[in-house]
Structure 1
């Protein structure tokens, strides 16, 4: 049996699901794009090709191997995008929560059924239908759970609005002893530089008390200030609009002092090293063209 345990974003990782780019399928058509960044690259003819994305994910798998992390990969669905494991489910404490994702992504859950089969069935939950929640919007910080959402009345018009207030309330009920705080995110269907697809596109904790943040990703300044007050301004690395577009807040922690980061994130990686982190740099620029990076393609199962 898998004894799940996830209390935060940075404790020592022991087991993880890492997506796969094998048999990723043809470049989607314009009408099939789920996010503005993919759309931009489809239109420009720069959408990533499978071979490059497979190499990028293998680089991450090698880092996990180096740190002795147990890695599960999804079973293969032919011609299908299975990169973003974080969207389909996530773990809080010892509970495995299936996300109610876009309906045509349901089979991605089937592809990790062999992992779910190793978890105590009482610890696997599926929210009711009206609850929308995706792993990229759910961030654990010990007694806190941060959740990205979109409170605009036009929620249903936005395919980029992935977690609703029903999702937030569902987590509040499931974990009554935690401080659940939602953040209203800026969304755009057309401009990826102004679209926080998930909370991890504009914020992520690192180490014991630090974080990476993009102020303009939050619709309300008070939400941004909540994190500044909690972490302390001096502990937050503020990224620019362009850095947010390249997904600098979407790195991934193996432990409190080891992070996997994209090799082009020069300013961020320098800051991390200056703050005592070991930075394992990998190439991930092709995958980032789909508006997802390292955190999006991983689903942690066990941390110490």
Structure 2
């Protein structure tokens, strides 16, 4: 079993090496286990997907710190790949931010994402987002950096200022958050290739790009993103959008035909899925203790 310390060190080293990292979004233990076996360098716990799968609610500040820590720590415990987890706004004031960072670090995560939206926050590719003063977010980042036990626990600073205040303000905020101690910089929702190029080349720290299919930001190839200078690309919605379509197709077949025969060729092998979920250990245990 890989320790949390080893995961964090591995991610730090990978970020320092050439090439761009691609992080798939995980939102429940099935997606976490599936992504973990694929060979990614890092996984991303999506707030949107986690809140939707766990509570059946929109990503609009309705999930609590306890809700999110519960899921994040389960993902970290059940996987070998480093995970960066969405920490929303830190769930309150400066004391809450410190508590959140300590909780996520103790929970085994490799990093936390904190954003400068007003509470209650909203998904970064939906309307109606407002940001707090930059000076207030600088304090949050400083507190987050002070609260962590290890510098290998990464702090991702996100600004949502592009949508409401413009790109220049977003870039200015990122420089301030970088100076305050952020390790990875994240300007949410650039709306053109030109804006993406400007963001990627503006900083001397790793820059993250968030790709949401159907969102505001153009979906480009890995080669294009890497050439711009991005060090990390997260795909928070790809998996749950794929799952939604697959579920719709499967349920429609059951409703229309009363059978799964029409989608049988699109189903994961049952025995392989059972092994993915850890049944091999159960079978081995039963075999070892058969005489008992």
TM-score range, shorter chain: 0.3 to 0.5
Bigger Rg, which one: 2
Greater helix content: 2
Using the size of structure 2 for normalisation, the TM-score is 0.32
The higher-RCO structure (CA 8 Å, 6+ apart) is 1
TM-score (norm 1): 0.31
Structure with higher strand content: 1
